[in-house]
Structure 1
Amino acid sequence: MSEGFGLVVRFTLRDEKAAGEFDDLCARTLEGIKSSEPGTLTYVTHTPEGEPLVRVFYELYADRAAFDEHEAQTHTKHFLAEREQYLSGVEVTFLDAIAGKVAGRQ
């Protein structure tokens, strides 16, 4: 599988109030992603069981260029600028796809 570029991001939020505000920011950002990013194949936010102050993002892009296009969007830049006020930590793991099944692809 030579195509595909992804990342997993683990955000730790300061407190419950910050978590709610972060979730609102994420919802607004997701609207922009849905409407203007055809190269973003998957963009999902998760809350791990038993960790109410953690959000895990799983993002899959058609390729590195699609990720770069995502990063250049106004809604993404806004998210990146605003998110820090809600966080106590962030971990990013970049992923290069080597094998798998992607919806809509053979």
Structure 2
Amino acid sequence: MNDGYGLVVRFTLLDQQSATAFDKLCARTLQEIKAREPGTLTYVTHTPEGEPLVRVFYELYASRAAFDAHEAQPHIKHFLAEREQYLANVEVTFLNAIAGKVAGQQ
């Protein structure tokens, strides 16, 4: 398994007001991702148990090129600029697939 490109992003938000605004920004951005990005296979936001000011994104793309296309989208550029006002910290881990189970594949 060598196709697929992913990342995990951990956002720490400033306070509950920032978390609420960030979640709204994410919801608007996700609508655009669903409508315009066929190479974005998975884009999920999580809230870790017991950490109300943390959001963890899991993102999986068909390829590195699909990720690059995602990053070039106007709605993603807007998200990246807008999110800064809500954040205390961001940690990004880029992932290259080496093995796994993918729906629809043997």
TM-score bin, normalised by smaller chain: over 0.9
SS in 2 for 1:76: helix
SS in 2 for 1:93: strand
SS in 2 for 1:52: coil
Q: Which amino acid aligns with 1:24?
A: K
Q: What's the C-alpha RMSD, in Å, of the aligned pairs?
A: 0.6
Runs of 4+ residues over 3 Å off in structure 1:
none
Residue ranges of structure 1 left out of the alignment (5+ in a row): none
Confirm whether residue 94 of structure 1 aligns to residue 102 of structure 2.
Answer: no
Match of 1:52 in 2: 52
Separation (CA, whole Å) in 1 of partners of 2:31 and 2:12 = 23
Match of 2:34 in 1: 34
- Alignment length, in residue pairs? 106
Using structure 2 for the length normalisation, give the TM-score. 0.98
SS in 2 for 1:71: helix
Residue ranges of structure 2 left out of the alignment (5+ in a row): none
Map 1:69-80; keep pairs closer than 5 Å. Answer: 69-80=69-80
Confirm whether residue 14 of structure 1 aligns to residue 23 of structure 2.
Answer: no
SS in 2 for 1:68: helix
Using structure 1 for the length normalisation, give the TM-score. 0.98
Separation (CA, whole Å) in 2 of partners of 1:101 and 1:52 = 30
Q: Which amino acid aligns with 1:48?
A: P
